[in-house]
Structure 1
Amino acid sequence: MSATTFRLERPRDGVAVLTLDRPDRLNSMTAEMFAELEAAGRQLDREPGLRALVVTGAGKAFCAGYDLAAAEQLPSLGALGMLDLQESAARALAAIRGVRVPVIAAVNGAAAGGGLALALAADIRLASPRAKFVPSFVTIGLSGGDLGTSWLLPRLIGPAAAAEFLYSARTMGAEEAERTGLVNRVVPEDELLDAALELAGQICQNSPGGVQLSKRALQANMEASSYAAALELENRGQALLTRSEDMTEALTAFQEKRAPVFEGR
Protein backbone atom coordinates (compact mmCIF):
# COMPACT_ATOMS: atom_id res chain seq x y z
CA MET A 1 0.00 0.00 0.00
CA SER A 2 1.10 3.61 -0.50
CA ALA A 3 1.47 5.89 2.52
CA THR A 4 3.02 9.24 3.30
CA THR A 5 3.76 8.71 7.02
CA PHE A 6 5.56 5.36 6.91
CA ARG A 7 7.41 2.94 4.65
CA LEU A 8 6.37 -0.68 4.29
CA GLU A 9 9.07 -3.08 3.16
CA ARG A 10 9.45 -6.85 2.91
CA PRO A 11 13.11 -7.75 3.48
CA ARG A 12 12.46 -11.50 3.52
CA ASP A 13 9.66 -13.95 2.82
CA GLY A 14 6.87 -13.71 5.36
CA VAL A 15 8.24 -10.61 7.11
CA ALA A 16 7.09 -7.01 6.73
CA VAL A 17 8.85 -3.97 8.23
CA LEU A 18 6.76 -0.87 8.88
CA THR A 19 9.00 2.16 9.44
CA LEU A 20 7.42 5.37 10.70
CA ASP A 21 8.89 7.93 8.34
CA ARG A 22 8.62 11.47 9.66
CA PRO A 23 12.18 11.75 11.01
CA ASP A 24 12.17 15.56 10.87
CA ARG A 25 9.26 15.46 13.39
CA LEU A 26 10.65 12.50 15.39
CA ASN A 27 8.03 10.30 13.70
CA SER A 28 5.30 12.07 15.64
CA MET A 29 1.69 11.15 15.01
CA THR A 30 -0.92 13.02 13.00
CA ALA A 31 -4.49 12.36 11.95
CA GLU A 32 -3.11 11.24 8.59
CA MET A 33 -0.79 8.73 10.29
CA PHE A 34 -3.67 7.31 12.30
CA ALA A 35 -5.71 6.71 9.14
CA GLU A 36 -2.76 5.16 7.31
CA LEU A 37 -1.78 2.90 10.22
CA GLU A 38 -5.33 1.65 10.58
CA ALA A 39 -5.50 0.85 6.85
CA ALA A 40 -2.09 -0.84 6.96
CA GLY A 41 -3.01 -2.97 9.97
CA ARG A 42 -6.19 -4.19 8.33
CA GLN A 43 -4.42 -4.93 5.04
CA LEU A 44 -1.56 -6.77 6.71
CA ASP A 45 -4.00 -8.82 8.74
CA ARG A 46 -5.47 -10.12 5.47
CA GLU A 47 -2.10 -10.85 3.82
CA PRO A 48 -1.96 -14.64 3.49
CA GLY A 49 1.82 -15.07 3.43
CA LEU A 50 2.65 -12.77 6.32
CA ARG A 51 4.31 -14.45 9.32
CA ALA A 52 5.67 -11.50 11.34
CA LEU A 53 5.58 -7.70 11.39
CA VAL A 54 8.37 -5.42 12.62
CA VAL A 55 7.55 -1.81 13.55
CA THR A 56 10.33 0.77 13.93
CA GLY A 57 11.10 4.44 13.35
CA ALA A 58 13.24 6.32 10.86
CA GLY A 59 16.07 8.48 12.16
CA LYS A 60 16.84 8.91 15.84
CA ALA A 61 13.36 8.38 17.35
CA PHE A 62 10.82 5.58 17.45
CA CYS A 63 7.80 7.87 17.83
CA ALA A 64 7.50 11.09 19.84
CA GLY A 65 3.73 10.83 20.27
CA TYR A 66 1.19 13.25 18.85
CA ASP A 67 2.70 16.09 16.83
CA LEU A 68 2.57 19.12 19.12
CA ALA A 69 2.35 21.43 16.09
CA ALA A 70 -1.01 19.82 15.31
CA ALA A 71 -1.92 19.67 19.01
CA GLU A 72 -2.36 23.46 19.04
CA GLN A 73 -5.60 22.91 17.11
CA LEU A 74 -7.05 20.40 19.57
CA PRO A 75 -8.91 22.87 21.83
CA SER A 76 -10.80 24.19 18.79
CA LEU A 77 -12.12 20.76 17.76
CA GLY A 78 -14.91 20.62 20.31
CA ALA A 79 -15.83 17.54 22.34
CA LEU A 80 -17.16 15.47 19.45
CA GLY A 81 -14.34 16.44 17.12
CA MET A 82 -11.80 15.46 19.75
CA LEU A 83 -13.62 12.17 20.29
CA ASP A 84 -13.43 11.44 16.55
CA LEU A 85 -9.67 12.06 16.55
CA GLN A 86 -9.16 9.99 19.70
CA GLU A 87 -11.13 7.09 18.29
CA SER A 88 -9.19 7.28 15.03
CA ALA A 89 -5.95 6.99 17.01
CA ALA A 90 -7.32 4.10 19.04
CA ARG A 91 -8.42 2.27 15.91
CA ALA A 92 -4.95 2.70 14.41
CA LEU A 93 -3.14 1.12 17.36
CA ALA A 94 -5.79 -1.57 17.75
CA ALA A 95 -5.34 -2.46 14.07
CA ILE A 96 -1.58 -2.88 14.51
CA ARG A 97 -2.01 -4.88 17.73
CA GLY A 98 -4.72 -6.96 16.07
CA VAL A 99 -2.62 -8.14 13.12
CA ARG A 100 -2.94 -11.90 13.42
CA VAL A 101 0.83 -12.52 13.32
CA PRO A 102 3.39 -11.49 15.95
CA VAL A 103 4.26 -7.78 15.98
CA ILE A 104 7.82 -6.90 17.04
CA ALA A 105 8.59 -3.29 18.00
CA ALA A 106 12.22 -2.36 17.31
CA VAL A 107 12.44 0.72 19.53
CA ASN A 108 15.39 2.67 18.17
CA GLY A 109 14.95 5.89 20.17
CA ALA A 110 12.38 7.90 22.09
CA ALA A 111 8.92 6.37 22.49
CA ALA A 112 6.81 9.09 24.11
CA GLY A 113 3.09 9.43 24.70
CA GLY A 114 1.32 7.75 21.81
CA GLY A 115 4.70 6.35 20.73
CA LEU A 116 4.91 4.54 24.06
CA ALA A 117 1.39 3.24 23.46
CA LEU A 118 2.42 1.98 20.00
CA ALA A 119 5.40 0.12 21.48
CA LEU A 120 3.15 -1.42 24.14
CA ALA A 121 0.73 -2.57 21.43
CA ALA A 122 3.41 -4.88 19.99
CA ASP A 123 3.70 -8.48 21.17
CA ILE A 124 7.48 -8.21 21.64
CA ARG A 125 9.72 -5.19 22.20
CA LEU A 126 13.43 -4.99 21.39
CA ALA A 127 15.26 -1.77 22.23
CA SER A 128 18.53 -0.10 21.40
CA PRO A 129 20.55 1.46 24.25
CA ARG A 130 19.30 4.86 23.01
CA ALA A 131 15.66 3.92 23.51
CA LYS A 132 13.76 5.81 26.16
CA PHE A 133 10.16 5.59 27.22
CA VAL A 134 8.26 8.68 28.28
CA PRO A 135 4.60 8.66 29.45
CA SER A 136 4.27 12.36 28.73
CA PHE A 137 0.47 12.51 28.88
CA VAL A 138 0.11 14.29 32.25
CA THR A 139 2.77 16.87 31.35
CA ILE A 140 0.44 18.33 28.71
CA GLY A 141 -2.76 18.06 30.74
CA LEU A 142 -3.91 14.69 29.46
CA SER A 143 -4.51 11.33 31.13
CA GLY A 144 -2.09 8.43 31.11
CA GLY A 145 -5.14 6.35 30.27
CA ASP A 146 -4.56 6.76 26.55
CA LEU A 147 -4.53 4.38 23.58
CA GLY A 148 -4.40 1.27 25.72
CA THR A 149 -1.51 2.38 27.93
CA SER A 150 -3.41 2.03 31.22
CA TRP A 151 -4.41 -1.54 30.29
CA LEU A 152 -1.17 -2.84 28.79
CA LEU A 153 1.45 -1.17 30.98
CA PRO A 154 0.37 -2.72 34.34
CA ARG A 155 0.34 -6.15 32.73
CA LEU A 156 3.97 -5.70 31.71
CA ILE A 157 5.57 -4.01 34.71
CA GLY A 158 2.94 -4.38 37.45
CA PRO A 159 0.29 -1.95 38.78
CA ALA A 160 2.46 -0.11 41.32
CA ALA A 161 5.35 0.44 38.90
CA ALA A 162 2.91 1.54 36.21
CA ALA A 163 1.29 4.03 38.59
CA GLU A 164 4.62 5.55 39.58
CA PHE A 165 5.73 5.75 35.94
CA LEU A 166 2.51 7.34 34.64
CA TYR A 167 1.98 9.80 37.51
CA SER A 168 5.56 11.08 37.54
CA ALA A 169 5.90 11.12 33.73
CA ARG A 170 9.59 10.44 34.19
CA THR A 171 11.80 8.99 31.48
CA MET A 172 12.65 5.29 31.63
CA GLY A 173 15.87 4.31 29.90
CA ALA A 174 16.50 1.13 27.96
CA GLU A 175 18.34 -0.67 30.76
CA GLU A 176 15.54 -0.08 33.28
CA ALA A 177 12.94 -1.00 30.67
CA GLU A 178 14.65 -4.36 30.21
CA ARG A 179 14.92 -4.90 33.96
CA THR A 180 11.23 -4.13 34.58
CA GLY A 181 9.98 -6.21 31.66
CA LEU A 182 8.81 -3.29 29.54
CA VAL A 183 11.12 -4.56 26.79
CA ASN A 184 12.23 -8.12 26.12
CA ARG A 185 15.87 -7.21 25.65
CA VAL A 186 18.30 -4.45 24.72
CA VAL A 187 20.62 -4.98 21.74
CA PRO A 188 23.35 -2.76 20.27
CA GLU A 189 21.97 0.07 18.18
CA ASP A 190 23.54 -1.07 14.91
CA GLU A 191 22.15 -4.59 15.44
CA LEU A 192 18.59 -3.66 16.43
CA LEU A 193 16.81 -4.19 13.12
CA ASP A 194 18.86 -7.31 12.35
CA ALA A 195 17.92 -8.72 15.77
CA ALA A 196 14.24 -8.02 15.08
CA LEU A 197 14.51 -9.67 11.67
CA GLU A 198 16.34 -12.66 13.16
CA LEU A 199 13.56 -13.10 15.71
CA ALA A 200 10.97 -12.74 12.94
CA GLY A 201 12.86 -15.42 11.01
CA GLN A 202 12.71 -17.78 13.98
CA ILE A 203 8.97 -17.23 14.16
CA CYS A 204 8.65 -17.92 10.44
CA GLN A 205 10.18 -21.38 10.92
CA ASN A 206 7.20 -22.48 13.00
CA SER A 207 3.68 -23.49 12.09
CA PRO A 208 1.80 -20.37 10.90
CA GLY A 209 -1.47 -21.62 12.37
CA GLY A 210 0.18 -22.56 15.64
CA VAL A 211 1.80 -19.13 16.01
CA GLN A 212 -1.38 -17.26 15.08
CA LEU A 213 -3.55 -19.19 17.52
CA SER A 214 -0.86 -18.80 20.20
CA LYS A 215 -1.10 -15.03 19.74
CA ARG A 216 -4.87 -15.19 19.84
CA ALA A 217 -4.78 -17.23 23.04
CA LEU A 218 -2.25 -14.93 24.73
CA GLN A 219 -4.22 -11.80 23.89
CA ALA A 220 -7.64 -13.21 24.65
CA ASN A 221 -6.56 -14.79 27.92
CA MET A 222 -5.20 -11.49 29.18
CA GLU A 223 -8.89 -10.61 29.32
CA ALA A 224 -10.27 -13.99 30.37
CA SER A 225 -12.39 -13.94 33.51
CA SER A 226 -11.07 -17.22 34.88
CA TYR A 227 -8.60 -20.07 34.52
CA ALA A 228 -11.47 -22.23 33.24
CA ALA A 229 -12.23 -19.71 30.49
CA ALA A 230 -8.57 -19.69 29.47
CA LEU A 231 -8.51 -23.49 29.27
CA GLU A 232 -11.66 -23.49 27.14
CA LEU A 233 -10.09 -21.14 24.61
CA GLU A 234 -6.86 -23.14 24.52
CA ASN A 235 -8.73 -26.41 24.05
CA ARG A 236 -10.62 -25.06 21.05
CA GLY A 237 -7.42 -23.78 19.43
CA GLN A 238 -5.58 -27.07 19.87
CA ALA A 239 -8.52 -29.11 18.55
CA LEU A 240 -8.67 -26.87 15.48
CA LEU A 241 -4.94 -27.13 14.78
CA THR A 242 -4.90 -30.93 14.89
CA ARG A 243 -7.08 -30.81 11.77
CA SER A 244 -4.45 -28.82 9.84
CA GLU A 245 -2.03 -30.16 7.22
CA ASP A 246 0.83 -28.50 9.09
CA MET A 247 0.20 -30.69 12.13
CA THR A 248 0.42 -33.80 9.96
CA GLU A 249 3.58 -32.47 8.32
CA ALA A 250 5.18 -31.80 11.72
CA LEU A 251 4.57 -35.36 12.88
CA THR A 252 5.80 -36.82 9.60
CA ALA A 253 8.95 -34.68 9.71
CA PHE A 254 9.63 -35.81 13.28
CA GLN A 255 9.37 -39.45 12.25
CA GLU A 256 11.57 -38.87 9.21
CA LYS A 257 14.12 -36.88 11.27
CA ARG A 258 13.95 -33.76 9.09
CA ALA A 259 12.83 -30.16 9.44
CA PRO A 260 9.10 -29.65 8.76
CA VAL A 261 7.97 -27.61 5.77
CA PHE A 262 4.98 -25.57 6.88
CA GLU A 263 2.50 -24.26 4.31
CA GLY A 264 0.01 -22.56 6.60
CA ARG A 265 -2.76 -25.03 5.81
Structure 2
Amino acid sequence: MKTLEKEFETLLAEQVRPGVVVVTLNRPERYNAMTNTMFVELEQLAWGLETEDDCRVVILTGAGKAFCSGYDLADADALPSLGALGMLDQQERAARALSAIRSLRVPVIAAVNGAAAGGGLALALAADIRLAGPAAKFNAAFVRIGLSAGDLGTSWLLTRLIGPARTSEICFTGRIVEAAEAAELGIVNATGDGDVVADALALADQIVANSPGGVQLSKRALQANLEVGSYAAALELENRGQALLTRSPDMAEALSAFKQKRSPVFQGK
Protein backbone atom coordinates (compact mmCIF):
# COMPACT_ATOMS: atom_id res chain seq x y z
CA MET A 1 0.00 0.00 0.00
CA LYS A 2 1.49 3.32 -1.09
CA THR A 3 -0.08 5.14 1.84
CA LEU A 4 2.03 3.11 4.25
CA GLU A 5 5.26 4.14 2.55
CA LYS A 6 4.98 7.60 4.09
CA GLU A 7 6.81 8.23 7.35
CA PHE A 8 4.83 9.83 10.17
CA GLU A 9 6.12 11.67 13.21
CA THR A 10 3.45 10.49 15.67
CA LEU A 11 2.14 7.27 14.08
CA LEU A 12 3.33 3.88 12.91
CA ALA A 13 1.28 2.20 10.19
CA GLU A 14 1.96 -1.30 8.92
CA GLN A 15 0.15 -3.94 6.92
CA VAL A 16 0.71 -6.94 9.15
CA ARG A 17 -1.16 -9.42 6.97
CA PRO A 18 -3.17 -9.19 3.75
CA GLY A 19 -5.87 -6.57 4.16
CA VAL A 20 -5.11 -5.72 7.79
CA VAL A 21 -3.39 -2.46 8.75
CA VAL A 22 -2.26 -1.78 12.31
CA VAL A 23 -1.97 1.93 13.19
CA THR A 24 -0.05 2.63 16.39
CA LEU A 25 -0.08 5.98 18.15
CA ASN A 26 3.64 6.42 18.71
CA ARG A 27 4.40 8.89 21.49
CA PRO A 28 4.95 6.44 24.34
CA GLU A 29 7.01 8.90 26.36
CA ARG A 30 3.88 11.11 26.53
CA TYR A 31 1.42 8.23 26.86
CA ASN A 32 0.50 8.82 23.22
CA ALA A 33 -0.99 12.22 24.02
CA MET A 34 -2.53 14.05 21.08
CA THR A 35 -0.89 17.00 19.37
CA ASN A 36 -1.82 19.05 16.33
CA THR A 37 0.72 17.02 14.37
CA MET A 38 -1.04 13.81 15.39
CA PHE A 39 -4.42 15.21 14.37
CA VAL A 40 -3.08 16.15 10.93
CA GLU A 41 -1.37 12.79 10.50
CA LEU A 42 -4.44 10.79 11.54
CA GLU A 43 -6.52 12.65 8.98
CA GLN A 44 -3.90 12.20 6.25
CA LEU A 45 -3.52 8.52 7.00
CA ALA A 46 -7.27 7.94 7.00
CA TRP A 47 -7.74 9.66 3.67
CA GLY A 48 -4.84 7.68 2.23
CA LEU A 49 -6.21 4.35 3.43
CA GLU A 50 -9.59 5.26 2.00
CA THR A 51 -8.02 4.98 -1.48
CA GLU A 52 -6.38 1.60 -0.83
CA ASP A 53 -8.63 -1.17 -2.15
CA ASP A 54 -6.43 -3.78 -0.46
CA CYS A 55 -7.18 -2.32 2.98
CA ARG A 56 -9.96 -4.35 4.60
CA VAL A 57 -9.62 -3.68 8.35
CA VAL A 58 -7.78 -1.05 10.40
CA ILE A 59 -6.62 -1.79 13.96
CA LEU A 60 -5.84 1.21 16.14
CA THR A 61 -3.65 0.86 19.24
CA GLY A 62 -1.03 2.68 21.30
CA ALA A 63 2.70 2.23 21.83
CA GLY A 64 3.93 1.49 25.33
CA LYS A 65 1.66 1.52 28.39
CA ALA A 66 -1.17 3.73 27.16
CA PHE A 67 -3.69 3.80 24.35
CA CYS A 68 -4.02 7.59 24.34
CA SER A 69 -4.00 10.00 27.27
CA GLY A 70 -5.90 12.72 25.42
CA TYR A 71 -4.69 16.15 24.38
CA ASP A 72 -1.11 16.83 25.43
CA LEU A 73 -1.39 19.21 28.37
CA ALA A 74 2.10 20.49 27.59
CA ASP A 75 0.43 22.24 24.63
CA ALA A 76 -2.68 23.30 26.54
CA ASP A 77 -1.28 26.46 28.17
CA ALA A 78 -1.82 28.39 24.96
CA LEU A 79 -5.47 27.41 24.55
CA PRO A 80 -7.00 30.12 26.80
CA SER A 81 -5.13 32.80 24.87
CA LEU A 82 -6.54 31.76 21.50
CA GLY A 83 -9.29 33.94 20.15
CA ALA A 84 -12.73 32.51 19.44
CA LEU A 85 -11.91 31.72 15.82
CA GLY A 86 -8.48 30.39 16.77
CA MET A 87 -10.02 27.97 19.27
CA LEU A 88 -12.66 26.95 16.76
CA ASP A 89 -9.90 26.16 14.27
CA GLN A 90 -8.14 24.07 16.95
CA GLN A 91 -11.31 22.13 17.70
CA GLU A 92 -12.11 21.54 14.06
CA ARG A 93 -8.60 20.24 13.37
CA ALA A 94 -9.03 17.63 16.07
CA ALA A 95 -12.61 16.83 15.05
CA ARG A 96 -11.60 16.28 11.42
CA ALA A 97 -9.02 13.72 12.50
CA LEU A 98 -11.46 11.64 14.53
CA SER A 99 -14.20 12.02 11.93
CA ALA A 100 -11.81 10.75 9.25
CA ILE A 101 -11.05 7.66 11.32
CA ARG A 102 -14.72 6.98 12.00
CA SER A 103 -15.64 7.57 8.35
CA LEU A 104 -13.22 5.00 6.94
CA ARG A 105 -15.22 2.69 4.70
CA VAL A 106 -13.62 -0.37 6.31
CA PRO A 107 -14.11 -1.52 9.91
CA VAL A 108 -11.90 0.09 12.54
CA ILE A 109 -11.04 -1.93 15.66
CA ALA A 110 -9.64 -0.08 18.68
CA ALA A 111 -7.26 -2.40 20.54
CA VAL A 112 -7.17 -0.48 23.81
CA ASN A 113 -3.97 -1.56 25.54
CA GLY A 114 -3.94 1.02 28.35
CA ALA A 115 -5.43 4.33 29.42
CA ALA A 116 -7.90 5.98 27.04
CA ALA A 117 -8.60 9.38 28.58
CA GLY A 118 -10.36 12.48 27.27
CA GLY A 119 -9.62 12.68 23.58
CA GLY A 120 -8.23 9.15 23.81
CA LEU A 121 -11.65 7.95 24.92
CA ALA A 122 -13.20 9.87 22.02
CA LEU A 123 -10.77 8.20 19.60
CA ALA A 124 -11.65 4.73 20.92
CA LEU A 125 -15.35 5.56 20.62
CA ALA A 126 -14.81 6.57 16.98
CA ALA A 127 -13.88 2.96 16.18
CA ASP A 128 -16.56 0.47 15.14
CA ILE A 129 -15.41 -2.16 17.63
CA ARG A 130 -13.44 -1.81 20.86
CA LEU A 131 -11.41 -4.55 22.55
CA ALA A 132 -9.81 -3.97 25.95
CA GLY A 133 -6.58 -5.43 27.26
CA PRO A 134 -6.08 -6.13 30.96
CA ALA A 135 -4.54 -2.68 31.54
CA ALA A 136 -7.22 -0.76 29.66
CA LYS A 137 -9.10 1.97 31.47
CA PHE A 138 -11.32 4.79 30.32
CA ASN A 139 -12.30 8.21 31.57
CA ALA A 140 -13.97 11.32 30.24
CA ALA A 141 -11.28 13.56 31.70
CA PHE A 142 -12.59 16.81 30.21
CA VAL A 143 -14.30 18.10 33.36
CA ARG A 144 -11.11 17.58 35.33
CA ILE A 145 -9.33 20.24 33.28
CA GLY A 146 -12.19 22.72 33.07
CA LEU A 147 -13.64 21.56 29.76
CA SER A 148 -16.90 19.98 28.63
CA ALA A 149 -17.38 16.26 28.02
CA GLY A 150 -19.17 17.39 24.87
CA ASP A 151 -15.93 17.09 22.92
CA LEU A 152 -14.82 15.21 19.80
CA GLY A 153 -18.04 13.22 19.57
CA THR A 154 -17.98 11.74 23.06
CA SER A 155 -21.41 13.05 24.08
CA TRP A 156 -23.00 11.59 20.93
CA LEU A 157 -21.17 8.26 20.69
CA LEU A 158 -21.03 7.27 24.35
CA THR A 159 -24.72 8.08 24.88
CA ARG A 160 -25.64 5.76 22.03
CA LEU A 161 -23.47 2.99 23.42
CA ILE A 162 -24.54 2.99 27.06
CA GLY A 163 -27.47 5.41 27.40
CA PRO A 164 -27.79 8.95 28.76
CA ALA A 165 -27.87 8.18 32.50
CA ARG A 166 -24.67 6.14 32.60
CA THR A 167 -22.97 8.54 30.22
CA SER A 168 -23.93 11.47 32.45
CA GLU A 169 -22.48 9.83 35.55
CA ILE A 170 -19.18 8.98 33.83
CA CYS A 171 -18.88 12.40 32.20
CA PHE A 172 -19.88 14.51 35.21
CA THR A 173 -17.52 12.70 37.62
CA GLY A 174 -14.62 12.07 35.26
CA ARG A 175 -14.06 8.81 37.11
CA ILE A 176 -12.02 5.92 35.76
CA VAL A 177 -13.84 2.95 34.25
CA GLU A 178 -11.72 -0.19 34.38
CA ALA A 179 -11.76 -2.79 31.60
CA ALA A 180 -14.18 -5.21 33.26
CA GLU A 181 -16.74 -2.49 33.97
CA ALA A 182 -16.30 -1.09 30.46
CA ALA A 183 -17.28 -4.49 29.08
CA GLU A 184 -20.23 -4.76 31.46
CA LEU A 185 -21.49 -1.31 30.44
CA GLY A 186 -20.97 -1.97 26.74
CA ILE A 187 -18.20 0.55 26.14
CA VAL A 188 -16.04 -2.30 24.83
CA ASN A 189 -17.06 -5.48 23.05
CA ALA A 190 -14.76 -7.75 25.03
CA THR A 191 -11.81 -7.88 27.38
CA GLY A 192 -8.90 -10.29 27.39
CA ASP A 193 -6.04 -11.36 29.63
CA GLY A 194 -3.37 -11.34 26.95
CA ASP A 195 -2.26 -9.32 23.93
CA VAL A 196 -5.18 -7.16 22.87
CA VAL A 197 -3.66 -6.55 19.42
CA ALA A 198 -3.53 -10.33 18.87
CA ASP A 199 -7.20 -10.47 19.84
CA ALA A 200 -7.93 -7.69 17.36
CA LEU A 201 -6.04 -9.53 14.62
CA ALA A 202 -8.08 -12.67 15.24
CA LEU A 203 -11.26 -10.63 14.90
CA ALA A 204 -9.90 -8.92 11.78
CA ASP A 205 -9.29 -12.33 10.19
CA GLN A 206 -12.99 -13.15 10.61
CA ILE A 207 -13.94 -9.87 8.94
CA VAL A 208 -11.49 -10.26 6.06
CA ALA A 209 -12.97 -13.69 5.28
CA ASN A 210 -16.20 -11.97 4.22
CA SER A 211 -16.94 -10.03 1.05
CA PRO A 212 -15.37 -6.54 1.03
CA GLY A 213 -18.47 -4.91 -0.44
CA GLY A 214 -20.78 -6.61 2.03
CA VAL A 215 -18.73 -5.46 5.00
CA GLN A 216 -18.32 -1.92 3.71
CA LEU A 217 -22.00 -1.40 2.95
CA SER A 218 -22.90 -2.97 6.29
CA LYS A 219 -20.75 -0.35 8.00
CA ARG A 220 -22.31 2.41 5.93
CA ALA A 221 -25.82 1.26 6.87
CA LEU A 222 -25.02 0.88 10.57
CA GLN A 223 -23.47 4.33 10.82
CA ALA A 224 -25.98 6.16 8.65
CA ASN A 225 -28.97 4.61 10.38
CA LEU A 226 -27.79 5.92 13.73
CA GLU A 227 -28.62 9.34 12.37
CA VAL A 228 -31.86 8.84 10.46
CA GLY A 229 -35.17 9.68 12.08
CA SER A 230 -37.37 6.79 11.01
CA TYR A 231 -37.62 3.06 10.40
CA ALA A 232 -38.73 3.77 6.84
CA ALA A 233 -35.59 5.77 6.12
CA ALA A 234 -33.44 2.96 7.51
CA LEU A 235 -35.19 0.43 5.27
CA GLU A 236 -34.68 2.66 2.24
CA LEU A 237 -30.94 2.84 2.84
CA GLU A 238 -30.69 -0.92 3.45
CA ASN A 239 -32.67 -1.69 0.30
CA ARG A 240 -30.30 0.36 -1.83
CA GLY A 241 -27.27 -1.38 -0.33
CA GLN A 242 -28.64 -4.85 -1.01
CA ALA A 243 -29.62 -3.91 -4.56
CA LEU A 244 -26.08 -2.71 -5.25
CA LEU A 245 -24.44 -5.80 -3.77
CA THR A 246 -26.46 -8.22 -5.88
CA ARG A 247 -24.76 -6.61 -8.90
CA SER A 248 -21.34 -7.62 -7.53
CA PRO A 249 -19.62 -10.83 -8.69
CA ASP A 250 -18.85 -11.52 -5.03
CA MET A 251 -22.42 -12.54 -4.31
CA ALA A 252 -22.43 -15.09 -7.14
CA GLU A 253 -19.07 -16.36 -5.90
CA ALA A 254 -20.40 -16.74 -2.37
CA LEU A 255 -23.37 -18.77 -3.57
CA SER A 256 -21.18 -20.97 -5.77
CA ALA A 257 -18.73 -21.57 -2.93
CA PHE A 258 -21.59 -22.53 -0.61
CA LYS A 259 -22.96 -25.05 -3.09
CA GLN A 260 -19.47 -26.46 -3.75
CA LYS A 261 -18.62 -26.57 -0.03
CA ARG A 262 -15.47 -24.46 -0.42
CA SER A 263 -14.21 -21.10 0.81
CA PRO A 264 -15.19 -18.19 -1.42
CA VAL A 265 -12.60 -16.10 -3.23
CA PHE A 266 -13.83 -12.53 -3.17
CA GLN A 267 -12.73 -9.84 -5.64
CA GLY A 268 -14.10 -6.82 -3.80
CA LYS A 269 -15.69 -5.39 -6.95
> What TM-score results when the alignment is normalised by the length of structure 1?
0.98
Which residue identity does 1:161 align to in structure 2? R
Q: Helix, strand or coil: the match of 1:88?
A: helix
Which residue identity does 1:129 align to in structure 2? P
Alignment-derived partner of residue 69 in structure 1: 74
Alignment-derived partner of residue 64 in structure 2: 59
Alignment-derived partner of residue 212 in structure 1: 216
Report 1:46-195 matches (<5 A): 46-188=51-193, 190-195=194-199
- CA separation in 1, counterparts of 2:45 and 2:212? 20
Alignment-derived partner of residue 37 in structure 2: 32
Question: What does the per-residue CA deviation read over 1:93-149, in whole Å, with 9 as the maximum and x for residues that have no partner?
Answer: 000011100000000000000000000000000001211101010111111000000
Q: Is residue 237 from structure 1 mapped to residue 269 from structure 2 by the alignment?
A: no
Which residue identity does 1:233 align to in structure 2? L
Which residue identity does 1:13 align to in structure 2? P
- CA separation in 1, counterparts of 2:12 and 2:156? 29
Which residue identity does 1:218 align to in structure 2? L
Q: Is residue 258 from structure 1 mapped to residue 253 from structure 2 by the alignment?
A: no
Q: Is residue 13 from structure 1 mapped to residue 27 from structure 2 by the alignment?
A: no
Q: Helix, strand or coil: the match of 1:10?
A: strand
Alignment-derived partner of residue 3 in structure 2: none
- CA separation in 2, counterparts of 1:77 and 1:36? 23
Identical-pair percentage: 66
Question: What does the per-residue CA deviation read over 1:226-262, in whole Å, with 9 as the maximum and x for residues that have no partner?
Answer: 0000000000000000000100101111111111111
- CA offset at residue 191 of structure 1? 2.2
- CA separation in 1, counterparts of 2:21 and 2:95? 22
- CA separation in 2, counterparts of 1:237 and 1:207? 14
- CA separation in 1, counterparts of 2:247 and 2:213? 11
Q: Helix, strand or coil: the match of 2:67?
A: strand
Q: Helix, strand or coil: the match of 1:8?
A: strand
Q: Helix, strand or coil: the match of 1:62?
A: coil
- CA offset at residue 78 of structure 1? 1.5
* RMSD between aligned residues: 0.7
Q: What count of residue pairs does the alignment treat as equivalent?
A: 264
- CA offset at residue 207 of structure 1? 0.3
Alignment-derived partner of residue 222 in structure 1: 226
Which residue identity does 1:124 align to in structure 2? I
Structure 1 segments (4+ residues) deviating >4 Å: none
- CA separation in 1, counterparts of 2:176 and 2:258? 48
- CA offset at residue 77 of structure 1? 1.8
- Unpaired runs of 5+ residues, structure 2, are 1-5
- CA offset at residue 10 of structure 1? 0.8
Question: What does the per-residue CA deviation read over 1:153-185, in whole Å, with 9 as the maximum and x for residues that have no partner?
Answer: 011111110011101111100000000000000
Q: Is residue 198 from structure 1 mapped to residue 187 from structure 2 by the alignment?
A: no
> What TM-score results when the alignment is normalised by the length of structure 2?
0.97
- CA separation in 1, counterparts of 2:219 and 2:117? 26
- CA separation in 2, counterparts of 1:132 and 1:62? 9
